[in-house]
């Protein structure tokens, strides 16, 4: 009875009890959505058949700056033309260069980095090609590399747990208000 009289005489106290659980719930939702959004550039393209790589050298600048992420789609060698950008394996590294010439008979590409003065010394055999670069996003590679690391995954899990805990706190506060 006294609580009812207090809530009628002090409506701002009653509102404060509803605002804090709503804020906790909203903050928890924003944290969870942030964690999900951070991993979308890593997961959705892979589901669509793209390989994802970070550019670590400046051989394709200014077209593709260092720190960019590239999305590579498998392609048949006969569909690759001069001017296309391809990703390929060379000595256990992934290289991204522009095709200067497709030598169909020899089964190889002549490539060159945009920032390089001369063509690459060795032709790229068809069996070394990963695919064509379909898209690139500057600076996203640095973020994705961090997220893909064990430390980044740990932070993502901890943030997700915080988001869930904010939702739990909001539920507890709402239940206390009802009692």
**What positions carry a catalytic annotation?**
57
Alpha carbon distance 172, 114 (integer Å)? 59
Comparing CA positions, the residue from 20, 17, 28 lying closest to residue 166 is 28
Neighbours of 93 (CB within 10 A): 9
Residue 169 near residue 29 (C-beta atoms within 8 A): no
Residue 89 near residue 72 (C-beta atoms within 8 A): no
Q: What are phi and psi of 130, to 5 degrees?
A: -85, -45
Helix, strand, coil content of the chain in percent (nearest 5): 50, 25, 25
Alpha carbon distance 73, 102 (integer Å)? 18
Q: Which two tokens stand for residue 171?
A: 């539920």
Sequence-ordered list of residues with C-beta below 8 angstroms from that of 2, at least 6 positions apart, any chain: none
Alpha carbon distance 26, 166 (integer Å)? 8
């Amino acid at each position: 009875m006294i609580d009812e009289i207090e809530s009628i005489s002090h409506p701002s106290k009653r509102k404060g009890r509803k605002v804090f659980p709503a804020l906790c719930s909203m903050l928890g939702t924003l944290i969870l959505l942030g964690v999900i959004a951070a991993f979308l550039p890593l997961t959705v393209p892979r589901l669509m058949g793209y390989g994802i790589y970070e550019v670590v050298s400046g051989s394709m600048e200014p077209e593709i700056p260092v720190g960019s992420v590239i999305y590579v789609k498998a392609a048949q060698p006969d569909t690759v033309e001069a001017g296309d950008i391809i990703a390929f394996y060379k000595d256990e590294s992934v290289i991204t260069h522009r095709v200067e010439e497709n030598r169909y008979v020899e089964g190889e590409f002549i490539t060159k980095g945009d920032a390089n003065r001369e063509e690459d010394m060795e032709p790229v055999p068809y069996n070394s090609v990963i695919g064509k670069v379909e898209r690139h996003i500057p600076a996203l590679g640095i973020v994705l590399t961090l997220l893909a690391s064990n430390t980044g995954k740990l932070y993502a899990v901890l943030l997700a747990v915080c988001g869930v805990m904010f939702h739990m706190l909001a539920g507890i506060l709402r239940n206390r208000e009802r009692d």
